[in-house]
Amino acid sequence: MSSALLELRDVVKLYPVRGSGRKGASIRAVDGVDLAIPAGRVFGLVGESGSGKTTVARCILGLTPLSEGSIEFDGVDLSAADRRARRALHREIQLVFQQPAAALDPRMTVDRLIAEPLTTHGLARGAALRERIARLLDDVGLLPAHLRRYPHELSGGQCQRVVIARALATDPRLVVLDEPTSALDIVVQAQILNLLVELRDRHGLTYLLISHDLSVVRHLSDRIGVMYLGRVVEEGPAAALLDDPRHPYTQALLASTRGRGSASLDASAPLEDELPSTWELPTGCRFHPRCALREKLGRPAACETIDPERVAVSPDHAAACHFAGGADAGPEGLRS
């Protein structure tokens, strides 16, 4: 898909492990991720702790170097970019954080905070700078009275608006939203979600939304990718994936969401065990020890021995499970 604004190809990120008594062992935080986001769309990346979604975001933002693979933004390979190109990338790709208050320097007032991205890239000075800050304030729904305040003098929602204003300051094309509302109250969350939708429409932004909250992901995303232990295990259009999940992990996630009624707590649990330790990855399919479908199918050998390829459920929906196409599907000659 050459029209993709952001494209990840086989991205791998390893973290060497020291002092565990194993030489040369490493944690495969991201273990071969392919992703493509077309311009103007919202891609939701879902996963729990240990899934690698935060690491993927850090690699895209240039906060962490890749171990293998490539990330291309608008055709430009991030790792091959020279200094000028990288500075341009810092303008084009921005981030909205999870903990809004922690993302703001506690010693800086709001006006200096919003000015920082602008002055760093020399985008405005003096009167032009003040005007630009005023426009950004208006964009995110803050008042001039907020300019003189410190972050600890703002509410959570107001802090998040400042974070968003900073992210927009350089006119980025891609904004990575890392759990943008999980630290916020219900009503404030709704306000921020509305703001994000409106800003996307008004400025033609592309979003990579990272969240564990499926209702937020569903609300904003065009396309969803589900990550488990460093891999994308299912990917597809938001509605299709949520209505017809084909990977057992996605099914388990959906079964764990709240708000499905009291009886949901009495039915048998979708997932009982904990995540395996990250450097002792299960053989074959990494999800097999916890997989309910495998139990139901009588533990087919393929699950333990063969790492599943992505199976196309439809032209734009794929899941990495031997049986994604239905219980009758599966690797040749290995049906149980």
Partner 1 sequence: MSVTLDSPEQLPPAYRSTGGISRRAYRVLRRERAAQVGASIIVLLVFVALTAPILAPYPAQGRGVADVPARDLAPSWQHLFGTDHLGRDILSRVIFGARPALGVSLVVVLMAMLIGVPLGMIAGYRGGWLDETLMRITDLFLAFPPLLLAIVISALLGPSLYHAAIALVISWWPWYARLSRTVTQSLRQAPFIDAARVFGVREPVILARHVLRNSTTPILVQATVDLGTVILAVGALAFLGLASQPPLADWGLMVADGRETIQTEWWISTFPGIAIFVTVLGFNLLGDVLRDVLDPRSGS
Partner 2 sequence: MSALLEIDDLRVDFSRDGRVTSHALRGVSLAVGVGEAVGVVGETGCGKTLTGLSVLRMLPDNAHATGRISFDGRNLLGLSPRELRSIRGGRISMVFQSPGTSFNPVFTVGHQIGLVASKHLGTGKKETERLVSETLHAVGLPNPDSVMRFYPHELSGGMLQRAMIAMAIICRPSLLIADEPTTALDVTIAQQILRLLRRLQREQGFGVFFISHDLDLVSDFCDRIAVLYAGRVIETGKAEELLRRPRHPYTRALLEALPGRAEPGASLPTVPGTVPTELDDAPGCPFAPRCPLVTELCRQERPPLVDVGSGHTAACHRSDDL
Residues that bind partner 1 (CB under 8 A): 61-63, 86-87, 90-91, 93-95, 97-99, 102-107, 116-117, 120-121, 140-143, 145-146, 148-150, 152-155, 158, 163, 166, 170, 191, 194-195, 198
Complex with partner 1: residue 6 or 291, whichever CB lies closer: 6
User: Residue 174: how many CA atoms within 13 Å on its side-chain side?
Assistant: 23
Complex with partner 1: residue 198 or 316, whichever CB lies closer: 198
Complex with partner 1: residue 61 or 291, whichever CB lies closer: 61
3-state secondary structure 67-125: CEEEEEECCEECCCCCHHHHHHHHHHEEEECCCCHHHCCCCCCHHHHHHHHHHHCCCCC
Complex with partner 1: residue 146 or 322, whichever CB lies closer: 146
Element (H or E) spanning 133, and its range?
helix 126-140
Bridge partners of 311? 319
**What's the closest the beta carbon of residue 114 comes to partner 2, in angstroms?**
21
131-162 burial code (b ≥16 CB/10 A, e <16)? ebbeebbebbbbeeebbeeebeebebbbbbbb
Complex with partner 1: residue 63 or 239, whichever CB lies closer: 63
**What's the closest the beta carbon of residue 211 comes to partner 1, in angstroms?**
17
Complex with partner 2: residue 55 or 221, whichever CB lies closer: 221
Distance of alpha carbon 69 from alpha carbon 72, whole angstroms: 10
Residues in Cβ contact with 199 at an 8 Å cutoff, skipping those fewer than 6 apart: 139, 140, 164, 168, 205
Complex with partner 2: residue 216 or 313, whichever CB lies closer: 216
**What's the closest the beta carbon of residue 166 comes to partner 1, in angstroms?**
7
Which of partner 2, partner 1, none is residue 335 near (CB under 5 to 8 Å by kind)?
none
**What's the closest the beta carbon of residue 224 comes to partner 1, in angstroms?**
24
Which of partner 1, partner 2, none is residue 62 near (CB under 5 to 8 Å by kind)?
partner 1
Residues 193/198/240/272 CA torsion (nearest 10 deg): -10
Complex with partner 2: residue 38 or 62, whichever CB lies closer: 38
Q: Look at strands 174-178 and 206-211 and give their pairing.
A: parallel
Which of partner 1, partner 2, none is residue 219 near (CB under 5 to 8 Å by kind)?
partner 2
Residues in the chain: 336
**What's the closest the beta carbon of residue 235 comes to partner 2, in angstroms?**
17
**What's the closest the beta carbon of residue 128 comes to partner 2, in angstroms?**
32
Strands (E), the chain: 4-16, 26-38, 42-46, 68-73, 76-77, 93-96, 174-178, 206-211, 223-228, 231-237, 311-314, 317-319
Which of partner 1, partner 2, none is residue 125 near (CB under 5 to 8 Å by kind)?
none
Which of partner 1, partner 2, none is residue 94 near (CB under 5 to 8 Å by kind)?
partner 1
**What's the closest the beta carbon of residue 131 comes to partner 1, in angstroms?**
19
Q: Is the alpha carbon torsion for 185, 190, 193, 195 positive or negative?
A: negative
Interaction site with partner 2 (CB under 8 A): 48-49, 155-156, 185-191, 193-194, 197, 212, 214-216, 218-221, 238-239, 252-253, 255-262, 264-266, 269-272, 274-275
Which of partner 2, partner 1, none is residue 266 near (CB under 5 to 8 Å by kind)?
partner 2
Distance of alpha carbon 244 from alpha carbon 249, whole angstroms: 13
Which of partner 2, partner 1, none is residue 95 near (CB under 5 to 8 Å by kind)?
partner 1
